[in-house]
Amino acid sequence: MYHFFVGPEQICENRAVINGPDVNHIRNVLRIKPGEKVLLNTGSDWDYLCEIREIGKEEIILSVVSENQSVRELPAKITLFQGLPKSDKMEWIIQKSVELGVSEIVPVLTRRVVVKWDDKKSAVKQKHWQGISEAAAKQSGRNRIPEVSVPIDFRSALNEMQKYKVRLIPYELAEDSEKTRKIISGICPGDSAAVFIGPEGGFEEEEISRAREAGIIPVTLGKRILRTETAGLVVLSLLMMQLEGK
């Protein structure tokens, strides 16, 4: 069943309204007809099963059939600080991270980032990334749409990570897999965790030293060197299984 996000003000008692870009998508792409049912969510733990009544050019009118509480978010806040990779990789990372339950994605401009970032196009790019997050949230049945921010610099990333209880930075020269397992297994519902992944070129040793000084723990993800688009998803997968198993 198709899943859409709406504002709380768009659902009132037994009536709901969909407007914006979703109208065209429903009419001309999905070709949903009156009488069919969809799920609406306002960014909460409640789903609204709705039946489409009218499909107009600018809005769709629906009847609310039922309300059901359905919690599909991880019970901990997980933020991915991602060293900015090439455009297509960033889009893939956003999509898969949202599917795995990430709460927020923060692109970071580290020293070995190969992308030439244009601040003038920052808002346009962020809006595009946010659209990818929303589409992935719909597809995977999330209760909320994870926020994707504009890129920040390395220093700002270290400062932002101080807000989290657990702070990890996978690093190819880190050792002790048992230490990594203990840290992951110690994360519980209600905790918060930040994961910092390097770009295609990885982190410089000085960046790792600065991260250590900021209380961020280097961890290993095994004996093989993982690509930037793989490493974050490995950690998120481990966290998802850990948190949903408790």
Tokens 């723990």 — which residue? 217
Shared domain for 61 and 158, answered yes or no, is no
H-helix or E-strand spanning residue 22: helix 21-24
Amino acid (one-letter) located at 244? E
**174 vs 99, higher pLDDT:** 99
CA distances 83 to 106, 113, 189, 202, Å, are: 9, 7, 27, 8
Residues 88-108: pLDDT tens digits? 899 999 999 999 999 999 999
**Per-residue pLDDT, 173:** 80
Q: Of 2, 86, 82, 9, give the one whose Cα is nearest residue 43.
A: 9
Mean pLDDT for the stretch of residues 196-203: 92
State which of 14, 44, 69 marks the end of a domain: 69
Expressed as residue numbers, the domain containing 112 is: 77-244
Mean pLDDT for the stretch of residues 64-68: 94
Shared domain for 45 and 91, answered yes or no, is no
Q: Is the pLDDT of residue 110 over 80?
A: yes
Shared domain for 132 and 240, answered yes or no, is yes
State which of 39, 69, 99 marks the end of a domain: 69
Shared domain for 113 and 225, answered yes or no, is yes
Q: Is the pLDDT of residue 246 over 90?
A: no
Shared domain for 141 and 49, answered yes or no, is no
Shared domain for 158 and 182, answered yes or no, is yes
Q: Is the pLDDT of residue 78 over 90?
A: yes
**Per-residue pLDDT, 212:** 94
Shared domain for 62 and 91, answered yes or no, is no
Shared domain for 200 and 223, answered yes or no, is yes
Q: Is the pLDDT of residue 161 over 70?
A: yes
Quote the tokens at residue 237.
């997968």
Shared domain for 98 and 171, answered yes or no, is yes
**Per-residue pLDDT, 3:** 92
pLDDT interval class at 172 (50, 70, 90): confident
Q: Is the pLDDT of residue 82 over 90?
A: yes
Shared domain for 178 and 105, answered yes or no, is yes
160, 195 Cβ separation under 8 angstroms: no
Q: Is the pLDDT of residue 166 over 90?
A: yes
Shared domain for 14 and 91, answered yes or no, is no
Q: Is the pLDDT of residue 41 over 80?
A: yes
Which CATH number characterizes residue 108's domain? 3.40.1280.10
Q: Is the pLDDT of residue 49 over 90?
A: yes
How many structural domains compose the chain?
A: 2
pLDDT interval class at 121 (50, 70, 90): confident
Rounded to 5 degrees, what are φ and ψ at 70? -150, 100
Shared domain for 65 and 81, answered yes or no, is no
Residues 136-157: pLDDT tens digits? 999 999 999 999 999 999 999 9
Amino acid (one-letter) located at 121? K
Selection from 50-54, 66-70, 223-227 with the highest mean pLDDT: 50-54
State which of 45, 69, 93 marks the end of a domain: 69
Which CATH number characterizes residue 44's domain? 2.40.240.20
Alpha-carbon distance 8 to 16, whole Å? 10
Mean pLDDT of the chain: 93
